[in-house]
Amino acid sequence: MPPLRGDLISLRLVRSADIDGLIELLNDLGTRGALGHFLKSETDIRSRFERDGYWSDDSGVLLMIDAAADIVGWIGFVPVIYYFYGYEISYQVFGEQYAGKGYATEALGLLTEYLFSTKLMDRLQLSIRPDNLASLRVAEKCGYTREGVMRSLAFIEGRFHDIELWSITRQTQEAL
């Protein structure tokens, strides 16, 4: 897959040279934010890369690369449920120095367009903690619509949290 290029970042596949740095970034509690409950072991990270390079027909991870060629975050997609045609997208910017610069917004826009142009499905969705205001803004800017609240869905930091469900359909995305 060729890189997806925007004005601020490009999205590219994970490379073997990225793995050591990703192990650090993905498990740095200071940059985990709302994703703190998804820590990954070094073994899991390496074995997933060896299995499929973090990219397959039904799921994938792309790295956000800025103009200085720094890895500033990641974005990925997985099937919603195996018997539905749709994907859930997740994303993370690595640290405050990269927050608020539009990287996540551009990444979500690029991946949304890519998935609608290459996959047989009509819907993409996001699951966002209601207190993650930055991510809620990203969803809005990219044309996603809030559908509702999934109560007590995620166990994070010792307690259950509500999660907002946001989505976009092919028809909505094409009208943007």
Q: For the segment 69-81, what is each residue's pLDDT rounded down to a tens digit?
A: 999 999 999 999 8
Q: Which pLDDT score is estimated for 31?
A: 66
Match 């999660």 to its residue by tokens: 163
- pLDDT score for 82: 79
State residue 94's pLDDT score. 92
Higher-confidence residue of 26 and 150: namely: 150
- Whether 157 has a pLDDT exceeding 90, the answer reads no
Whole-number pLDDT of residue 84: 84
Please state, rounded to an integer, the average pLDDT across all residues of the chain: 93
Q: What is the CATH number of the domain that holds 60?
A: 3.40.630.30
Q: Is the pTM of this model over 0.85?
A: yes
- Measured between alpha carbons, how far is 95 from 84 in angstroms, rounded to an integer? 34
Which domain range does residue 71 map to? 4-175
Q: How many domains are there within the chain?
A: 1
pLDDT tier at 95, thresholds 50, 70, 90 = confident
Query: What's the pLDDT tens digit per position in 115-135?
Result: 999 999 999 999 999 999 999
Give the full edge-to-edge strand order of the sheet including 123-128.
4-5, 9-13, 60-66, 71-79, 87-93, 123-128, 159-169, 145-156
Tell me the per-residue pLDDT of 20-52, one tens digit each, with 9 for 90 and over.
999 988 887 766 555 555 678 899 999 999 999
Lowest mean pLDDT across 8-12, 64-68, 129-133, 152-156? 152-156
SS3 40: coil
Predicted local distance difference test score (pLDDT) of residue 40:
80
pLDDT at 32: 58
Nearest Cα residue to 78 out of 95, 55, 100: 55
Cα–Cα nearest to 108, from 80, 75, 132: 75
